[in-house]
Chain A
Amino acid sequence: MSNAFRLARGGRIDRDRPLHFRFDGREYQGYRGDTLASALLANGVHGVTTSIKYGRPRGIMAAGPEEPNALVQVEKPFPEPMLTATTLALRDGMEAAGLPGRGSLATEPDPARYDAMHAHCDVLVVGAGPAGLAAAVTAARSGARVILADADTESGGSLLGTGELLDGAPATVWVQRAVRELAAHPEVRLLERTTVFGHYEDNYAVAVQHRGDDAPSRQRIWRIRAREIVLATGAHERPLVFPGNDRPGTMLAGSARTYLHRYGVLPGSRAVVFTTNDSAYAAAIDLHDAGVDIAAIVDARDVVSTYWASLCVQRGITIRHSATVAGTSGTERVTGAYLANLSHGATHAMNVRRVVRCDLLLVSGGWNPAVQLHGQSGGAVRFDEDTASFLPEPDDRRVRSAGAAAGAFTTAACLRTGADAGAEAARACGFAAEPGTLPDAKHPPVLAGYRGPWFLPSPIDNEGGTQFVDLARDATVADIRRAVGAGMDNVEHVKRYTTIGTAHDQGKTSGTTSTGIIAELLGRDVADIGTTTSRAPYTPVTFAALAGRDRGDLYDPIRVTALHDWHVEHGAPFENVGQWKRPWYYPRRGEDMEAAVLRECRAVRTGVGMQDVSTLGKIDVQGPDAAEFLDLVYTNKMSTLRVGRIRYGVMCTADGMVFDDGTLMRTAEHRYLLTTTSGNAAAVLEWLEDWLQTEWTHLRVHLTSVTEHWATIALAGPHSRDVLARVTDIDVDNDAFGFMDWRDGTVAGRSARVCRISFSGELAFEINIPWWYGREVWEALHDAGKRFGITPYGTETMHVLRAEKGLPIVGQDTDGTVTPYDLGMSWAVSKKKDDFLGKRSFSRVDTARSDRKHLVGLLPRDTGVVVPEGSQLVATTELPAPPVPMLGHVTSSYRSSVLGQGFSLALVKAGRERIGETIYSPVGGRLIPLEVTEPVFYDKEGARRDG
């Protein structure tokens, strides 16, 4: 039965390019230019799948994205669920299967690439039918930058499927001319196979381009910022609601015409045409002329057009007016239509008069303008009684509709409204634009459509259980009836009760009809009921397309320091700290993490270690009021810091909670260098700018981020001075270079700024050199330190060492609910300053409580234990029934080489009052006894910092 329904001639397929494909396991052949649907129809296949709820056979209903039925699962070249056969371009070797409602996802990874592109234009035209082409050509001639996007594989829109004439020649000739003209404009971008699927604020339109499996990216998201938008998205034909209206072989009349003209396919041999308006007549005539036996035209109207009647008479086609299809026969495919007369006013159907045999039932219930994007853009719609459809309400936003999307249902009107819209849009962008002369399109007089009930009365099915409204969701008139009966009078409730409009097609064919039926059942106006909300996407879009190229390593920037490669070469695993990669520890052969960290800790405590601390945020603060400013943002007093000196400082948010900490060095009378924690650098800078620019505008201060200008190397341990001395010209003697001093000089021949800061409690230095010299200086220090057994250490060791000294880490030992007092840092909170950020909050009732959680130390009675971080703390030796009162939790916990045991920092209710007490932590079903201690475990007197 190969291509038995393919005409010998005609259509826009490439007959020299046959394509082989499999559907539901069977081999077929089609041509390049076919969709899967047209190729199936050419092979006589209508039935594509079964319906989701009732398992009824379902076929191809439409020829575009409005298709409610013909869902397929692509199996090859790569599995993709739920595509409509009517929009799926055929390719050689394609394998697909009918999909009864639910798709399946591939288990192997998608090999395709997806990307995105930003674009700007004066005028974006959506849709390249007659209206869109006219709009684009008009706007382009004015010199405006134009983007014309169309979902289809070629431009022309409906003109590709109607066989009509423009200026006496096939309309496609004009289409080609228009496209050629547009392509020649340097300021025009033509986007074929590109569906504009979303409209967002300020005319930001998003589109997906289907570039094909072999393209550099399979799909591309276009992010288009347009000054003006013309929506020329056409209209979708409405099916009719009658018993058995879902049998395969039932097809929209206009779609049948498209299959004929565009694909050279006859969708059947004997057709009944059932319509409520003029538009189906053209389909009937064209199909008849192509060889389809038109068994009858059933027109629900009492009066039919004399123009079309005479054409039918010439061809011997019978028209039955005031009639309806009251039911259908057939199982896998329609075999006949039951015709009945309609009473006057069409409120009742008479008994079935006649059964007409057919294998094709063409239906047309009028047209729904594709107002989805208009709706997304915030545009209103109004119900138009004449066309029984919702039309876009024009407004003064920069989005305008044209053509069938605006209710212009003749080609002449589409061309005119398109050209007008294009000209207006271009003018709105400041271009002198005039709609030029348009091709001549003949159109017959149009007779008003049928105004009877939205579901046709039938003696066969009173409840409407076989009268399908949303075929994709298997929802019927009976379902709407039940919803309304349940008390629902809102279209949104009915949608959710019946699920109408919630399938892949988002109710393109069912929306207006279901509103009509609700109105009818409630005896209210259609306009009153209205529509459901249009939402992006207009047609479904793959997750992968939206994800684009921000995948894998590009998911989020990987920030590295100047020393990164050295760390890699030396085997360090990395810790993610914000976007930074920081070396975590440097395992030697055979070492696990714990062993490596204990070794690194020992090295710092007894010899010397070195760490890359370049990730610390650094901000240059300058200006005559810098000191005053810093006094306001730090809890400490910073104005008293002397040039050449460094001070540790804490910043709080205005609610008194610790926000960041770091060191501040005074580099000149009016200049400081401030450091922040690694993850917080951007936030701190923004926070400082905020206060400077919006609150303390009188302060003369400038902030400059210099984080990456400097590479920073920490050198820590009793031998750090010895190492540094070998490579620097700075006098590193304790008297010359004291704790919390900084000095400029050279290190390994490069100019450097060296600070005496210690985060480990040991004698330590931090060496800052411009990024470019980072590795060179690091290696020089490493060489110089060899004789002292210099040991590179990572973040984990740094954490252990600082915890032994009771130094908290913001974000680990604090969680946004902790004040400096809670941390036991009242020494860092100035009592002398009138104000600073956070000060006022310390006296609030809750913040001033003495039983708040305090940072304390914990020592397990069992020295072999390291309590897991995050463990909760309780006061009792046995757990009562929940809820168990909790005292706090363990924030940091490690095994210490110097203590020879595990130890923790914890936030504990009234912790400082509990020092010396024993509290407990439930760990793995046991209660571990812990002694509450001061948070400083090692070198409490601070004797080691001078070496």
Chain B
Amino acid sequence: MPRTPGADLPEHPDRLWHNPDPKSSYDAVIVGGGGHGLATAYYLAVNHGMTDIAVLESGWLAGGNMARNTTIIRSNYLWDESAGLYEHALKLWEGLEDELDYPLLFSQRGVLNLAHSLQEVRDSVRRVEANKLNGIDAEWVDPQQVAEICPILNTSPDLRYPVLGATWQPRAGIAKHDHVAWGLARALDRMGVDLVQNCQVTGFERVGDRVVGVRTTRGTIHAGKVALAAAGQTSVLADELGLRLPIQSHPLQALVSELLEPVHPTVVMSNAVHVYVSQAHKGELVLGAGIDSYNSYSRHGAFHTIEREMTAAVELFPMFARAHVLRTWAGTVDVTPDASAIMGLTPFEGLYINCGWGTGGFKATPGVGWCYAHTIAHDEPHPLNAPFSLERFTTGALIDEHGAAGVAH
């Protein structure tokens, strides 16, 4: 009966979650019901047997960056530390759909990261070679191969900044963000974890340097462990404890076109001609670019950012000229000085931190959940997230992923 292929997206289940009132105490509370908070609760329950947990969400579940991201998943980061974490996440993605018994629309359609200058070529080859040695599927492809992978891409040498080649990760792709959140939420709800919405954490209960609970808009909740997973809002929470963090919150915008017949077979990202594009299952083109320059919590970006992004889109994909922008939006992303996340212990006992994923943490969702749950359960970082400590800013052992992350993802 459906007329349009792909318009018949899988149905969601009839039951996803209940809306419990918060209890007065839990073994652990997770602050923030985005992808990271949900995944962390999930692996706390599944890997560490903890189910007396609440995920506290100030608004609607997964309505933060989880609702706003361009859903690109890949693991082809430069440094060993990142490669380890993102590749772990990617492996988990590969089994998550079955595990959650939810159609996440995880589609491994590959990602091309374009190089437009000789230096970008060097950097790309460097990253590909590092990826290979880290066991990540990665390839350097020349312009002709780029054109074969993505025929609608403009690989003409006449481009102002011609495509000189690309890195190609076949196992990369996209997944449907809401489905991921809801799949995790349903699993948690079934395991008896409380997903508490409209419950904003406003402060912390402390005994000396130990955090023993949170104050919320729905009352005080005691907790053996408190784990922050509040993305762009983390600084606001940390301020309550006088904990300064090396993160800045910026708007990051994205947009979609109307639904189109399938034209775009993969994911394309370009740092120099700045845009990234995929085509979602429903048929809309999903595009993003860089962050807006200034700090903001407004979930509202500037229009010139969109105009520039469209210029890049039409340069790289001339056929997009008469596609239409249907909707633009923004999220609040938490950016660190080295474009890598922060995950680990804090100066406060019983308080754990996961933030700084900035423009690219969706792809890490299950990996974050896995490692962060370990950190919380064992009071010690998992080896994969140990390098992502706060201390690195003091020692200088930064994990500079500006090159691999671009300004976004």
Contact = CB atoms under 8 A, between A and B. Distances in A.
B400 A816 contact: yes
5 contacts: A53-B3, A487-B19, A543-B325, A882-B132, A883-B133
A80 interface: yes
A547 B397 contact: no
Given A50-B3, A104-B263, A870-B129, 11 more contacts: A52-B2, A53-B7, A104-B260, A109-B319, A482-B14, A497-B12, A547-B310, A548-B307, A555-B161, A844-B394, A845-B397
Contacts of B121: 869-870
B161 A556 contact: yes
Interface in B113-144: 116-119, 121-130, 132-135
B328 A535 contact: yes
Interface residues of B, number: 87
A14 interface: no
Interface in A473-498: 482-483, 485-490, 492-493, 496-497
Interface of B: 1-4, 6-8, 12-19, 60-61, 63, 67, 80, 83-84, 116-119, 121-130, 132-135, 158, 160-161, 178, 189, 197, 257-261, 263, 273, 282-283, 300, 302-303, 306-308, 310-311, 313-315, 318-329, 392, 394-398, 400, 402-403
By secondary structure, the A interface counts as loop
A811 B324 contact: no
Interface string A136-180: 000000000000000000000000000000000000000000000
A537 B314 contact: no
B399 to A, nearest CB: 9
B313 A883 contact: no
Nearest to A679: B119
Interface in A221-245: 221, 223
A101 B7 contact: yes
B262 to A, nearest CB: 9
Contact of A81 (B161, B260, B397): B260
B129 A889 contact: yes
Nearest to A100: B3
Contacts of A486: 12-17
Centre residue among B118, B322, B323, B400 by max chain A CB count within 10 A = B322
Nearest to A221: B307
Given A103-B261, A555-B160, A879-B133, A870 B125 contact: yes
Contact of B117 (A536, A550, A576): A576
A51 B19 contact: no
Contacts of B327: 502, 506, 535-537
Contact of A487 (B18, B67, B394): B18
A869 B129 contact: no
A154 B134 CA distance: 63
Contacts of A553: 160
Nearest to B61: A493
A409 interface: no
A2 interface: no
Interface string A536-561: 11001111101110111101101000
Given A551-B314, A817-B400, A883 B321 contact: no
B260 A103 contact: yes
B323 A105 contact: yes
B395 A504 contact: no
Given A204-B303, A542-B322, A815 B400 contact: yes
Contact of B122 (A106, A544, A552, A870): A870
B279 to A, nearest CB: 11
Contacts of A482: 12, 14
A655 interface: yes
Contacts of B61: 493
Contacts of A3: none
A204 B306 CA distance: 14
A112 B310 CA distance: 16
Contacts of A497: 12, 178
Centre residue among B61, B318, B324 by max chain A CB count within 10 A = B324
A351 interface: no
Contacts of B394: 844-845
Contacts of B318: 109-110
B254 to A, nearest CB: 11
Contacts of B322: 78-81, 105-106, 110, 542-544
A759 B258 CA distance: 54
B397 A846 contact: yes
Nearest to A112: B321
B80 to A, nearest CB: 6
Nearest to A539: B324
B314 A544 contact: yes
Contact of B325 (A537, A558, A656): A537
What is the size category of the interface that chain A forms with chain B? 35 or more
Interface of A: 50-55, 78-82, 100-107, 109-110, 112, 116, 198, 200-201, 204, 206, 221, 223, 378, 482-483, 485-490, 492-493, 496-497, 499, 502-504, 506, 533, 535-537, 540-544, 546-548, 550-553, 555-556, 558, 575-577, 655-656, 811-812, 815-817, 841, 844-847, 868-872, 874, 879, 881-884, 886, 889, 891, 922
B397 A105 contact: no
Query: Which A-B residue pairs are the 3 nearest by beta carbons?
Result: A870-B125, A882-B135, A540-B324
B133 A872 contact: yes
A540 B326 contact: yes
A721 to B, nearest CB: 32
Contact of A102 (B14, B116, B283): B283
Contact of B15 (A198, A485, A891): A485
A542 B189 CA distance: 43
B277 to A, nearest CB: 11
Nearest to B327: A535
Contacts of B178: 496-497
A872 B259 CA distance: 43
B126 A872 contact: yes
Given A540-B258, A883-B83, A868 B14 contact: no
A882 B397 CA distance: 23
Contacts of A53: 2-4, 7-8
Contacts of A883: 80, 83-84, 133-135
Nearest to A82: B258
Contact of A105 (B122, B124, B160, B260): B260
B125 A871 contact: yes
A853 to B, nearest CB: 12
A886 B80 contact: yes
A551 B310 CA distance: 10
A546 B160 CA distance: 18
Contacts of A540: 258, 324-326
A547 B311 contact: yes
B16 A488 contact: yes
A107 B320 CA distance: 9
A544 B321 contact: yes
Contact of B130 (A51, A79, A493, A889): A889
B310 A543 contact: yes
B258 A891 contact: no
Given A102-B261, A105-B320, A547-B314, A492 B60 contact: yes
A51 B4 CA distance: 9
A407 to B, nearest CB: 25
A891 B400 contact: no
Nearest to B285: A543
Contacts of A104: 260-261, 263
A492 B130 CA distance: 42
A326 to B, nearest CB: 24
Contact of A889 (B83, B126, B282): B126
A487 B14 CA distance: 9
A556 B121 CA distance: 20
Given A655-B396, A816-B402, A883-B134, A543 B122 contact: no
B83 to A, nearest CB: 7
A50 B258 CA distance: 17
Contacts of A105: 260-261, 263, 319-320, 322-323
A552 B311 CA distance: 10
